[in-house]
Amino acid sequence: MTAAVTAQHEPAACALCRDAGGEVLYRNARLRVVLIDDVLYPGFCRVVWNDHVKEMTDLAPLDRSHAMTVVCKVETSLRHVLAPHKINLASLGNMTPHVHWHVIPRHEDDAHFPQPVWGQRQRITPAEALAARVALMPQLREAIAAQCATLAAGAEPA
């Protein structure tokens, strides 16, 4: 950590240091994959770098590659299990000093489509559609674990 880090970015004050940020589906020494508890967006995941690193370009090239490999594994799992219309990838984190990627399955009937999930709500998602997606969460957990298991087995570059 640099001297420029303020008290709000110290681990004790940092939300992503105090808390995993969701249900941990995969974790290694560098990052974690969490499932966000969002009733409107079942399957919304984040890939969170464990240490305080503000920008992707602050990561070493191999770490950047590792982070993006995991993002792609999560996207692959979401596409396979939920068959969304689109996947949104976003790296925002203006207030959080952890590189993290939002990996969000989007459906044409979701509450904000075609707007971003943080945009203006467009509709109420049918309850049966949400229930069907929630029912797929055990399968999604397994798919992400299987995709990320290849990392632990050394099948992907570090």
Domain encompassing residue 19? 7-150
d(CA 76, CA 156): 15
Asked if residue 1 is part of any domain, the answer here is no
> What pLDDT does residue 153 have?
63
Question: Bigger pLDDT: 14 or 137?
Answer: 137
Asked if residue 158 is part of any domain, the answer here is no
Question: Bigger pLDDT: 96 or 6?
Answer: 96
Query: pTM of the prediction?
Result: 0.88
Asked if residue 51 is part of any domain, the answer here is yes
Please, which residues have CB within 8 angstroms of residue 83's CB and are 6 or more apart in sequence?
none
How many Cβ atoms are within 10 Å of 151's Cβ, its own excluded?
19
Number of domains into which the chain is organized: 1
* CATH number of domain containing 145: 3.30.428.10
The helix or strand, by DSSP H or E, that contains position 74, with its residue range, turns out to be helix 61-82
Asked if residue 2 is part of any domain, the answer here is no
The helix or strand, by DSSP H or E, that contains position 75, with its residue range, turns out to be helix 61-82
Asked if residue 49 is part of any domain, the answer here is yes
d(CA 52, CA 158): 19
Asked if residue 69 is part of any domain, the answer here is yes
Asked if residue 83 is part of any domain, the answer here is yes
Asked if residue 38 is part of any domain, the answer here is yes
> What three-state secondary structure class fits 53?
strand
